[in-house]
Amino acid sequence: MNHDRIDTAIPVLGDAKIPSPIQRERQGEIPSCFISDSESVLIDVDLNRLKSQLEQNQTPSAFERAGPRQKIYFDPSKLKCAIVTCGGLCPGLNDIIRAIVLELYHGYGVHNIFGIRHGLQGFIPAYGHDIMELNPEAVVSIHEMGGTVLGSSRGPQPVEDIVDCIERMNIRLLFMIGGDGTLMAATRIGNTIDERNLKIGVIGIPKTIDNDIYLVSRSFGFDTAVDQATQAIISAHNEAKGYPNGISLIKLMGRYSGFIAATATLAQQDVNFTLIPEVDFDLEGPGGFLEALSERMDRRKHAVIVVAEGAGQKFFKAPAREKEVDISGNIKLDDIGLFLKDVITAYFAANHLEVSIKLIDPSYMIRSLPANANDQVFCSFLGRDAVHAGMAGKTKMIIGHWNGSFVHVPMTASAGKRNRVDPYGKLWLSVLEATGQGALKNPTYE
């Protein structure tokens, strides 16, 4: 991954000239709480590469640091804002909504805040979705609930119609909470706004339970997902040990990236095999998965397997380019959980060993849960920093977390790209050590 050529400049709507109403008073004094646009966070912190860049008179790439600015662009008394949640459910959505509303209302004095219902459909008149007026009373306890109080939807909507609606409502600041598809839609909305010469800010808050947003080291909901996946592994381990030749197979989220599966494996080290989309494996043969599983059963009489939903897609007949796509344009994955259950059952039956295999899929339960404490705190930072950025007149950007800091990331740098587990990185190598599963690949001979 080459971070040296990333354009990290954040578009702005105009000069920020209005003094910020935010005050942080302590014992009668106002401490320095504002962030300057010149404050930055290095993208690549490898010392050797930094030294090499400096020796070549190259400026290392860096993100703007997130936080409140001393001067803002919008007049809070006249500003109308909108919030929309899109795509699949994820723990923390309500926490993000709540943080945005509370910061707008109490921090900046913005009292015209609207929730757009059911994702981008809410902008399209034909669907007839009402808007939701948002204020502190409306969001006082929503963080205790899972899902999103605004509702969501999948699938594209006409960008021109969306911007028409934003204009009609006189919205000047739009907060879009969603995954990669939403961020690409937000980019197109922002571009259309620019083409119309409108002064409307578009701020994204990246949402993906899979933790696979490019240039975002952690996404909200991931901590909760790992927490709950760990509980599923504990139950699966008890199931496997409770029956003769017991096998528990847990299918977790992760269409293209196996961060949940890998991290949950390390959190609860009762897992014997972890399969993720980034790492190829063979089923049959002396080095394959089935042979390794058979050896495990001979030794310990039980096994726990964790598989990410996007793993092993090569075992299905239709190649990815020929598979159907869903309403959001995502390739419809074949069910690797059911496939492995059938293959494992048939393999041991052929070898005259009766196994008791359980397939556990906690995915939808995890997606719709309230966020845990760590994610709640993380969501509060994301929501408030999104407001700070929007009020300062920044646009077509997302709030990200990078090298321990909250930062501004241009949508163009992140949208359409994906963060994936490095097969040679510390996370996956630690999984291999914890499971002892080996490469699960047959030897090749030149």
As a whole number of angstroms, the distance between CA 427 and CA 440 comes to 18
Contacts of 319 (CB under 8 A, 6+ apart): none
C-alpha 72, offset from chain centre: 29
Residue 308 backbone phi and psi in degrees, to 5: -75, 145
| CA proximity to 232, closest of 333, 304, 339 | 304
Q: Dihedral sign, CA of 224, 225, 230, 231?
A: positive
As a whole number of angstroms, the distance between CA 224 and CA 178 comes to 17
Contacts of 322 (CB under 8 A, 6+ apart): none
Alpha-carbon distances, residue 413 vs 3, 62, 287 (angstroms): 10, 12, 40
| CA proximity to 177, closest of 87, 287, 292, 53 | 87
Which residues, in sequence order, are bridge partners of residue 29? Answer: 26
As a whole number of angstroms, the distance between CA 406 and CA 210 comes to 19
Active site members: 210
Residues 389 and 223: beta-carbon distance below 8 Å: no
As a whole number of angstroms, the distance between CA 260 and CA 307 comes to 10
361: how many CB neighbours lie within 10 A of its CB?
17
